[in-house]
Homo-oligomer: A and B are copies of this chain.
Amino acid sequence: MKPETENHATLCQRLKECDVRPTPQREVVLKVILAKRDHPTADEIFARVKAQLPTISLATVYNCLETLVQCGLIRQVNLERAPTRYCPNLHEHAHFHDEATGQIHDVDLPPDLMARLHEVLPAGFDARSIDLTFRGKAATN
């Protein structure tokens, strides 16, 4: 299941499963996010979608993103004082923010560690999601 090969039917079905109307705009927004393993901003997504849907507006991109995030089809990542970025990787993972290049890398963590994170909250706190971001320098190789 290469992301590049996500086709109309698959995308549509994914959206329907979330009880959202599978509009062309939503479909293409989701498609361009899944197509690359990077973490584009709303603006970048807007640019990519425009290539296929020239009349789409930025507001629609924001609407679609909000919908997709709510569905859990994508995640959003917030870095210090920078535009929100969107992440296509639904597999539970952490992020590494390279302060030198500004790039974000996905980092897989041992399943037991992720499991442990879910358990450590004090009573009364019920976490729906966890954001784990490392910040630093990545080796230049």
Question: Which of A's residues lie within 8 Å of B, judged by CB?
Answer: 76, 78-81, 84, 96, 99, 105, 107, 109-110, 113, 116-117, 120-139, 141
Contact check, B125 vs A96: say whether CB atoms are below 8 A apart: yes
Contact A136 B127, beta carbon cutoff 8 Å: yes
In the bound complex, residues from chain B placing their C-beta under 8 Å from that of A80 are: 76, 78, 84
**Contacting residues, chain B, for A78 (C-beta < 8 A):** 78-81
Contact between chains at B128 and A130 (CB < 8 Å): no
Closest Cβ of chain B to A57, distance in Å, is 18
Q: Are A141 and B128 in contact (CB under 8 A)?
A: no
Contact of A131 among B109, B122, B131 (CB under 8 A): B131
CA distance A107 to B79 in the complex (A): 20
Besides A96-B127, A130-B132, 5 more A-B contacts (Cβ < 8 Å) are A126-B136, A128-B135, A130-B134, A132-B132, A132-B133
CA distance A129 to B136 in the complex (A): 7
Q: Would you list 15 pairs from A and B whose C-beta atoms are within 8 A, ordered by A residue?
A: A78-B79, A81-B84, A96-B125, A96-B127, A107-B125, A109-B120, A121-B134, A123-B139, A125-B139, A126-B136, A126-B139, A129-B134, A129-B136, A130-B133, A131-B134
Q: Which residue of the partner chain, among B79, B96, B130, B141, contacts A121 with CB atoms under 8 Å?
A: B96
Q: Which residues of B contact A141 (CB under 8 A)?
A: 124
Asked if A132 contacts B131 (CB within 8 A), the reply is yes
